[in-house]
Amino acid sequence: MDTLHWEQMYRGRDRVFSGAPNPVLVAEAADLEPGQALDAGCGEGADALWLARRGWKVTAVDLSLTALRRAAASAAGVAGRISWACGDLAEAPPPPGAFDLVSVHYFPLPRRPGHTALRGLLDAVAPGGTLLFATHHPGDLEPRRGFDPADHYQPGDIAALLGDDWTVLVAETRPRTGPAPAGTRHTRDTVLRARRER
C-alpha cells in the first residue's frame, strides 16, 4: 500500500469517498477549541475542510497528488486555512509539538521496530492537544495481497504505548454511523481519543 497504490486508486475513480467528514471526527472534535490541526492521510479532503470551516488551521497530508488536487479544488471559502502537502508521514514525521489536534482516520499505519512512525505522530501533538485515531475494527478486515491488518496499528496498540503524560479519554469500539466504503463490509470503528497533558 505505497504511493503507487493510492495514486492508482484515486486515478481509477472520479470520486473515492462521499465528501462528508468522518462521523468519528465530527463526534469527537466538535467540542475542541480550534487551533492547529494535522489531518494525516487526508484523501479528498472532507475532514480538513470540516475542520477549516470550524476555524482550524489545517495541515493536510496525503501520498496521492490526485487526491490532494481534488481536495484543493473543493476548498472554496477556506482560503489560507488549509495547507495541502504531499508526503509520507511514516518516512518524514511532522514537526514535534506543532499541532493541537492530530487526526488519523483510516490511515493504515504500519507497525515498525521502535514505533518510529507512530512516535512521530504522537510527538506532533502539543501539550494540551488531542490525538484522535480511528480505524476499521480488525474483525471487519480481511488480509489481501499487499495488506495484512495484523501489520498495522489499532487504537488499543497505541493506547498501550502512551506514557503518563497522556490521558486516554475514549478507547472503544462503536458501530459505524456512516455508510461503509463501496465493496467493503465495515460495520464497526475502533476509536482512540487521548489528550497530551505535558
pLDDT at 180: 65
Instruction: Name the nearest CA neighbour of 130 among 194, 37, 198, 60.
Output: 194
pLDDT at 152: 86
- CB neighbour list of residue 111: distance below 8 Å, 6 or more residues apart: 151, 152, 153, 157
pLDDT in tens, the chain (198 residues): 577 777 877 777 777 676 689 999 999 999 999 999 999 999 999 999 999 999 999 999 999 999 999 999 989 889 899 999 999 988 899 999 999 999 999 888 888 888 988 999 999 999 999 999 999 887 777 777 767 778 889 899 999 999 999 999 999 999 987 666 665 677 899 999 999 999
pLDDT at 140: 72
Q: Are 21 and 46 in contact (CB under 8 A)?
A: yes
pLDDT at 147: 72
Q: What is the pTM of this model?
A: 0.88
pLDDT at 181: 61
Rounded to whole angstroms, the Cα distance separating 125 from 28 reads 16
Rounded to whole angstroms, the Cα distance separating 103 from 90 reads 15
pLDDT at 183: 59
Domain 3-13+22-196: give its CATH architecture: 3-Layer(aba) Sandwich (3.40)
DSSP 8-state class, residue 68: H
Q: 83 has which bridge partners?
A: 59
Domain extent listing, the chain: 3-13+22-196
